[in-house]
Structure 1
Amino acid sequence: MLAQFFVGLVAVEHVYILILEMFLWTTPRARKAFGTSIEQAEITKPLAANQGLYNGFLAAGLVWGLIHPNAATGKEVEIFFLTCVLIAALYGGFSAKRSILLVQGLPALIALALVLWL
């Protein structure tokens, strides 16, 4: 149950990121979260929407793992998508913004450890 909670938490986080990147990119909230000016946000809006879509795919994969009728297959799906989230967080944390390691990487790492352990 604890593992499923953390997998769900990571999925919800990525739905939130999808919303920020696809629909709210130029708002003050998103600009503060991603450290962009209004000019940068306007110019990068199509790129952000694309990134948001990918975050949505990560969330969808995690939800798929949670609701899969075969628990063993669901666990494998969760492991795959949590690994994808963790790799993306590592890349983003070292190439763009260190806080990504904590905000996205740590929950994914905890969820992955719990899924593997339990």
Structure 2
Amino acid sequence: MIIDSATLNPASAYKLLIGSILPRAIAWVSTQSTGGVANLAPISFFTAVGRKPPMVSLSLQPRSDGTTLKDTFVNIRDTGEFVVNMATLPQAHALNRSAFEFPSEVDSTEWSTSGATR
């Protein structure tokens, strides 16, 4: 199959990538805003890129509107800090819940890990 990437819309390109690169680790990235609001988000485009010094790569996409920056990006940009976590199987539902696009003023860690529904 030949796929012309110039003709793919962003959603189709994303689905092609996540369905083609397997196994694919998902980073569970925790950050905090300059105002102290915690954020927890799954990042599907994540990998190790170096061992000395140890480095990871996160490719951060905009929110679903295609324009607004996600809180993870803004928090890393503004604070220079983030933590990469790896979810375990028992945390899979919480990882999935953390993908919800919460308003920036909401502590997403509480909703993601409490089992609460939105």
The two structures have a TM-score, normalised by structure 1, of 0.23
More helix by share: 1
More strand by share: 2
